[in-house]
Amino acid sequence: MRCSMEKMDFHIHSDYSDDGSASLEDIVTEAIRWGLVAIGIVDHVRGDAAWLEEREARISGLRKKYADDIAIFSGIEVKVVDDQGTLEVEDRALHKADYVVASFHGTPEHVSRQSANGDHTAVVRWWCDSMLKLLEEGGRAQIIGHPDRVLNASRLTVDPEKFGQLLEMATKSRMFLEWNPVTTYPAQPFVQELGKKASANIIYASDAHTIGELADAYRGHTSFEEGMVERGNAALLALLKSRQATRLR
């Protein structure tokens, strides 16, 4: 057990998300209570959102208020909409947060149609193609959110050759990949495999949507026993600090 490791969580939803219930300040004080040194408050955005500026102003206030206790970053979680890794986000939204999490949330229409017609490999093909693009180019995102949840949820498997190719790409990519041991089910084969490679940029992300889920993520330190996220967390923290300093200058 690596109790000396600094705890960070780069994916916590607030009540600005339609499926989140925690207030910004409750998230901050709960994170401090569990000894976290850095957090990212990440809310769902489609294209742009009218509340982003207000959220930024409030996060900025909390950043100052709790400056001695914790580093606070702001993020947006956006959907991958096709097999090219295209993200559903407008450029102007990017200036209202420190970083972007690209996530697979539901399948594009043509993939759903193919699946409905009995082609169960359509989802796997979509995921593999989009993952490759995101790992190669990243585009406007810095993080891939719960990378293989869409496969786990449907119990789909990727052929070993393609799986190996994706792992190889992930070790060379500038993208950070989330490990969500608390809220993602049942296992995360891709991220677990990637974790065995020394150069992997894996970060810890609870993807908590409530204060209860946030507490669950830290009770007993279970999420931090493997040290798999130590390197990625430190590298992402440095990147976010510089992005935030540039944005707020």
Chain residues in the site for Zn ion (CB under 5 A): 77, 103, 145, 207
Nearer to Zn ion, 124 or 205 (CB): 205
Q: How far is the CB of 79 from Zn ion (least distance, A)?
A: 8
Tokens standing for residue 15: 């009540």
Q: Which amino acid is at 183?
A: T
Q: Which residue is nearest to Zn ion (CB)?
A: 103
Q: How far is the CB of 209 from Zn ion (least distance, A)?
A: 7
Rounded to the nearest 10°, the torsion over CA 211, 34, 184, 160 is 160
Nearer to Zn ion, 77 or 213 (CB): 77
Residue 125, C-beta contacts closer than 8 angstroms, at least 6 positions apart: 83, 111
Q: How far is the CB of 130 from Zn ion (least distance, A)?
A: 14
Say whether 115 sits in a helix, a strand or coil: helix
Q: How far is the CB of 204 from Zn ion (least distance, A)?
A: 14
Nearer to Zn ion, 67 or 94 (CB): 94
Nearer to Zn ion, 5 or 81 (CB): 81
DSSP state of 95: T
Number of neighbouring beta carbons within 10 Å of residue 170: 25
